[in-house]
Amino acid sequence: MTEMRWLSDGEQRSWRAFGLATRLLFDRLERDLQEAAGMPPTYYELLVLLSESPNRTLRMSELARWTHSKPSRITHAIGKLEQAGWVRRDHAASDRRGWLAVLTDEGLAALEAAAPPHLESIRANLIDLLSPEQIKQLGEISETLLAHLDPPRSGSA
């Protein structure tokens, strides 16, 4: 049996500050995005992923992989985006069992309208609060965590 490695006082303060700060940050970003664009962050993320994909199209399974979501959750979210007219579903030509999500022109317009207030919220609540050196450190820390927690995708996100 190995001995428990308790956190030092400094590590404990850092851990708790990190946990609370990230929860509060994501709560604020979610609230601001909902108020400004009428969409939750999950929908925004899906629209961004589609907008950055060739022909604004991705397989549903790829959306699930990129968002670390269950396929049923992606199906539900895409269904809501479809109801809004922002996404349509098509059968994959190469695999009739596979489904594609396609960003519509209306969906691209919704994303383009949502992006400025969302980015302003990110700036106001994170980026503009940190020095350039802290931004660099945040990136390095995040890349270290990603390499450990999500090795196949680190460096390609």
Q: Which domains does the chain have, with CATH numbers?
A: 36-149 (1.10.10.10)
- Summarize pLDDT for 9-49 with one digit per residue, the tens: 999 999 999 999 999 999 999 999 999 999 999 999 999 99
**Count of C-beta atoms within a 10 Å radius of residue 148:** 9
How much is the average pLDDT of 60-66?
A: 92
Query: Which pairing describes strands 57-59 and 87-92: parallel, antiparallel, or unpaired?
Result: unpaired
Q: Chain-wide mean pLDDT for the chain?
A: 93
Per the model's pLDDT, the better-predicted residue between 92 and 79 turns out to be 79
Q: What is the pLDDT of residue 157?
A: 43
Tens digits of residue pLDDT in 80-98: 999 999 999 998 887 777 8
Residues in the chain: 157
What was the pLDDT predicted at 153? 58
Radius of gyration of the chain from its Cα atoms, rounded to whole angstroms: 19
> Are the beta carbons of 106 and 54 closer than 8 angstroms?
no
Query: Residue range 124-129: average pLDDT?
Result: 98
Q: Which two tokens stand for residue 31?
A: 């609230």
